[in-house]
Amino acid sequence: MAEQAKASGPLPVVPFLRIPAEGAPYLEARCCGKCGAIFLGERENCSKCGARGELEPKRLANEGTLYVYSIVHRSFPGIETPYVSCIVDLEGGGTVKGNLIGIEPDPAKIRMGMPVRTVFKVAPRKDAEGNEYLTYYFEPR
C-alpha cells in the first residue's frame, strides 16, 4: 500500500523549492511589486510595506555569497554532526538558510563572503510513507 502513496519523483523539501516538469529545479521567492522585498514561501501581503496582493513569484539565482555560518556539533538525536549551518545572500536578492557542504567544518577554512552556489540533491531522509525528497545545499564555487 505504501508503494501506491509514492510520488513518481522526489517531493520538494520545502514549498519554495520548485521542481518543474522539464529543466532544473530552482528556489522560488515572492517579491513585492510595490517595494521589492523578497520572501521565501507563499504569502499574500508584504510585511515590509503592507501592500496586499502584490506579491509575484521570483526565481532565485543559484549563485550567492556566504553571509554567516555556525558549525553545529550538537543537534537532536539521529542528526549527524558536525555540519555547517549557513546563511547565504543570493545574487539579485533573497537570503536563504541551509547546510554548507563541500568544505571542512573548520573555522579556519570557511570565509564569510566566499562565493557559493546552490546545489540540489535527494535528501538522505524519507518520510513515514517512504517518499523521497529533493533538497538544496550550498557549496563553494
Question: What minimum distance in Å lies between the beta carbon of 64 and another protein?
Answer: 12
Enumerate residues 6+ apart whose C-beta is below 8 A from 140. Answer: 100, 102, 103, 114, 115, 116
Task: Read off the DSSP letter of residue 44.
Answer: S
- Cα dist from 108 to 111, 112, 141, whole Å: 8, 11, 18
Question: What minimum distance in Å lies between the beta carbon of 102 and another protein?
Answer: 15
Question: What minimum distance in Å lies between the beta carbon of 87 and another protein?
Answer: 5
- Rule CB under 8 A: which residues touch another protein? 11, 13-14, 37, 39-40, 47-48, 67-76, 79-81, 83, 85-87, 89, 95-99, 107, 112-113, 123, 125-127, 133, 135-136
Specify the residue, 11 or 22, whose C-beta has the smaller distance to another protein: 11
Q: For residue 86, what is its C-alpha cell? A: 549557513
